[in-house]
Each structure stands twice: as structure tokens, then as C-alpha cells.
Amino acid sequence: TAKCRYNASIRLKRIGRYTFMTTIVLSLGLILAPVLMVANLTLAYPTQVVNCIQIFLAVAVLVLSVVNATAGYDTRAHLLNECGDRIKDLSRELRTELQGGAPDLKAFNSRYAEITTDSEMHSRSDYALARLQASDVYNITGLGRAWTRASVFVAETIPYLVPTAMLASEAIFILDMLGVTGVLTPYMRRLAGA
């Protein structure tokens, strides 16, 4: 359980950092568009399209900022990490008690329940990853190991899809606007009636 909580903490920290960095990059793109217009560069997109892209980026920054603030990734990760530490301490104490005789398991169970109710549960992918990491306890080999590793990868990748798509969209818009690429340029000109 402690390892699962540590895995969940690491996962949440990564997601929090990624969405924060995504917000920064989108904000820089939001600033870049008017700077390019002020510089009197010849842009591949008409002014109306550039203005629409700016509105899209502003909304994207706002939404990601709200999601990041509401999700509280850092706070949740900290609580999960603390929970893992407290479970580890309890585990060490139980091992010491077991060496000295018969411990009061009801008391340990009660303390364990108290510790685990203070934080959120880990995900199934956190548990699957902990099973892969604890090869001395779980004997997962061959196709079972590959399948478990793949399912953990897919589960941990899903939260990154939307921010990555937003970053890719911004890159395409900016590169198209500068005339470096022409992925959306024909469609944007047609939509603007140019």
C-alpha cells in the first residue's frame, strides 16, 4: 500500500508539472501572436484568423489554469506521500513487534485504517506498477508482465493527451502563421474568405 501511495504521488506530481508547463507554453503562444502582428511580418493567416487563434489560446490557458488549480495536484501528491511514509513507519513497527512476540493486530489494523483514511486511494495503475516493482513478492513474468506494463503505460498516458493536443495545435497554428508549414493554412484562409 505504501508503494502504491508513492506511485500515486509521483504520478500526480508529473501531471501537475506537465499541465503547468503546458499553461506556460500556451501563454507564450498567446503573447507571440500579437508580437508577430506588431512586427509587420507577412503572416500566412488573415488577421481575423490570428485573432480567433488568440481567443482560442486565451480560453485554453484559462481552462488549463482552472483545471490545474482545482485538481490540486501538489497538495494531493504531498498527502499521498505522507500517507506512504506513515504506512512505512507502521510496517517497521509491526516487524519489530513480530520479532518480540505476538503484537496486538487489532491495534495495528485500527492505526492502519486511520492512516489510510487521511488520503485518497491510489489508482489501479499505481497498484499494478507496485506489483511490477515488487518482483520479490509478485512473480509476474513474460506476457503477463508485458501486458501489465502496457496497461500501466496506457493508464498513465491518458491524462497527458489533452494538454499534448493543445500544445500540438498551438505549434501548428504558429508554424502555419509564420509560413513554415501549411497544415491548416488553406482551411483557415477559406474560412476567413481570403
| Total-model pTM | 0.85
What is the distance in angstroms between the CA of the first residue and the CA of the last residue of the chain? 60
Indicate if the pLDDT at residue 50 is higher than 90: no
Dihedral sign from CA coordinates of 111, 115, 118, 119: negative
Find the range with the poorest average confidence among 62-66, 90-94, 110-114, 186-190.
186-190
Indicate if the pLDDT at residue 191 is higher than 80: no
Indicate if the pLDDT at residue 49 is higher than 80: yes
**Residue 34 and residue 92: Cα distance in Å, rounded?**
59
What average pLDDT does range 137-158 have in this prediction? 94
pLDDT computed for residue 83 by the predictor: 95
**Residue 157 and residue 159: Cα distance in Å, rounded?**
6
pLDDT computed for residue 194 by the predictor: 58
What is the three-class DSSP state of 18?
helix
Tell which wins on pLDDT, 168 or 104: 168
> pLDDT tens across 4-47, in order?
999 999 999 999 999 999 999 999 999 998 898 888 888 888 88
> pLDDT tens across 101-146, in order?
888 889 999 999 999 987 899 999 999 999 999 988 898 889 999 9
Q: How does 109-141 read in b/e, with b if 16+ C-beta sit within 10 Å?
A: eebbeebeeebeebbebbbbbbbeeeeeeeebe
pLDDT band with cut points at 50, 70 and 90 for residue 180: very high
> pLDDT tens across 73-94, in order?
999 999 999 999 999 999 999 9
Dihedral sign from CA coordinates of 83, 89, 93, 94: positive
What average pLDDT does range 51-78 have in this prediction? 91
Interior angle at CA 130, CA 127 and CA 131, nearest 5: 90
Beta strands in the chain (DSSP E): none
pLDDT computed for residue 41 by the predictor: 84
**Residue 121 and residue 80: Cα distance in Å, rounded?**
8
